[in-house]
Amino acid sequence: MNKTLSGKVILVTGSTGGIGRVTCEHLLSQGAQLYVTDFDAQAVDELCKVLHGAVAGSAADMCDPQSVAAMFADLRARYGRLDGAFNNAGRGSGEIPLVEMDLAEWQRVININLTGTFLCVQQEIELMLESGGGSIVNNSSILGLRAGANPAYTAAKHGVCGLTKSAALVYADRHVRVNAVCPGLIEAGMGLKVMARPQDKVERYVARHPMARAGQAQEVAEAVSWLLSEQSSYTTGHLLPIDGGYTCA
């Protein structure tokens, strides 16, 4: 089998969750050397032990610039370069109406989903420029393309899409590609919380996806892998819905 990521050093944030973990497994199957990170140090250590292949990692708080910088310093010390990154770390916030959302909740959601992605993209591009380029994939959401009930999450994911396009535009001629995946309802991670809601609500939400089903984490992982590989070498600034047709309905 042709391993499309053979020898490439790839960072995965939010690596211990549903989509993150499955993506790590898939990237390893494609020959990548992984650096994994998440908030929980014990979970990161356990993931490194469970995954079979070239894997290293450390814990990092995506909301803390110093913590993110320390994680990248460790990555640099271990591998000396970075070829690809999947910025997957993020959190949901339920359906809190705008007038009921306090500032602390707004800032928490923006910090982890948008500011954390910014901090990582900044460091990733710096590392990639040193070694001639690379590919970055940000995890946005269908709510980065459409409106959602939670104002902070919707704003943060729209921000991730804007950040993706801006970085892609500025660094395209320096061989750094930046794209985003925009998953719909996925039976993993935050999607499991949606699937645990009352059955009538779940059925209504699933029905908004024309394929009439939830997606699987593996379907996201394969799209991320393609965007990280040379198979997508002429693709940058793209926002890729993985949503069973949600955004075209």
Catalytic residue set: 153
β-bridge pairing 33-38 and 9-13? parallel
SS3 label, residue 164: helix
Single-letter code of the amino acid located at 16: T
Q: How many CA atoms lie within 13 A of 222 on its CB side?
A: 6
Residue 3 contacts residue 31 (beta carbons within 8 Å): yes
The full DSSP string for 58-97 is EE--TT-HHHHHHHHHHHHHHHS---EEEE----------
Report the run of H or E that residue 158 belongs to, with start and end: helix 151-171
The full DSSP string for 128-153 is HHHTT-EEEEEE--GGGTS--S-HHH
SS3 label, residue 106: helix
**E strand residue ranges, the chain:** 9-13, 33-38, 55-59, 84-87, 134-139, 176-183, 239-242
